[in-house]
Amino acid sequence: MAAPSPCTVKLNTNGSFHEDRRRMGYGGVVRKSSGNWVTRFLAGASGGDALMAELLALRYGLQLVWESGMRVVMCEIDCLEIIDTLQGDRIDFHELAAEFVEVRSLLQQDWEVQLLHIPRSANDVADCLAGLGATPQCALLHLDTPPMEVDPILARDFLAL
């Protein structure tokens, strides 16, 4: 994971799907170049699938960053299918076309967003938040402090910055 430049924020998002419960979760974290959290979120919903969860995470994360007034963003996700689809010209034919169009529209706002693919192992904080979001009682949550499940991952990530 590369650290963003001082004027850039870093958004990591991830989705999770539990087939046995037919429940998806998604989450994300926005950090400054110092590694400090700016904001973070997690949410869950019934139905869907893994790709839908990944798209919801990315869409919500981008909306959150945009609405917060941040205009230079390094966005890291571990779902290459999303990046390939967004960069392709066949979005209209995808089964999740409406969601892809919403994300593409967000990316085309008046800001600088660098969308990068990273290995899943480099997206552990967002993965943990997505897993927590998949619990049945979880609605959309904005977190002021990291959940204790994330503490060891944050410590490791901070050392890697």
* Share of residues in the chain with pLDDT > 70 (%): 88
29: confidence class by pLDDT, cuts 50, 70, 90: very high
Question: Counting every residue, how long is the chain?
Answer: 161
Residues 48-87 have pLDDT tens digits of 999 999 999 999 999 999 999 999 999 999 999 999 999 9
Q: Count CA atoms within 13 Å of residue 21 on its CB side.
A: 16
Q: Two tokens at 25?
A: 């979760």
The domain ranges of the chain are 9-160
Q: Two tokens at 120?
A: 């899943």
Beta strand pairing call for 23-31 and 141-142: unpaired
Look at residue 6 in the predicted model and tell me its pLDDT. 76
Helix, strand, or coil (residue 109): coil
Where does 9-160 sit in CATH, by number? 3.30.420.10
141: confidence class by pLDDT, cuts 50, 70, 90: low
Look at residue 49 in the predicted model and tell me its pLDDT. 95
